Amino acid sequence: MNTPPSASRPPAPEVLAIDAGNVRYEQDRTDERQGDQNGGYLAAIDSKTGERLWRLKVYDVPDARAAGVEGGGIYFRAMRLVDEGRGLEIENEVGGVYRVDLTSRSVQKLAGPPDEEAPTPVSPKPSPE
């Protein structure tokens, strides 16, 4: 499911799930019930039952709501198996590249821009007197 486009954001890239053995790995965009960030999650799904086995935050997505920006997110651009199926390499929309060890469920950042804070709200200009 794509994130709908807005005036400030094109639709998120469509990244296909990867099947490895009896597990399907896919981007888990958000889980509103938990109040999570938009993007940055990897889910492992049992291929036979469809049950979610685990969920991992691969990277942080700054929360821009304080600056008045709604619906922002940073989603996967690409995902591929590496290390003879023991890992996944994930690239996000802003050029961050991450390696996920599927056994330990640990994440290593390989490349990309520095992690950023959420935008700071701009105070309104004082009105002329």
Closest CA to 102 of 93, 119, 89, 117: 89
pTM score of the predicted model:
0.74
Q: Provide the total of helices (H) and of strands (E) in the chain, helices listed first.
A: 0, 8
Do 60 and 71 form a contact (C-beta atoms < 8 A)?
Answer: no
How does pLDDT run across 5-56, given as a tens digit for each residue? Answer: 455 667 778 899 999 989 999 998 766 656 678 889 999 999 999 999 999 9
Q: Which domains does the chain have, with CATH numbers?
A: 18-111 (2.40.10.480)
Buried b / exposed e along 56-84 (16+ C-beta atoms within 10 A): bebbebbebeeeebeebbbbbbebeeeee
pLDDT tens digits, one per residue of 109-118: 999 887 655 4
Give per-residue pLDDT as tens, 6-19: 556 677 788 999 99
State residue 39's pLDDT score: 86
Residue with tokens 């640990």: 106
Whole-number average pLDDT of the chain:
80
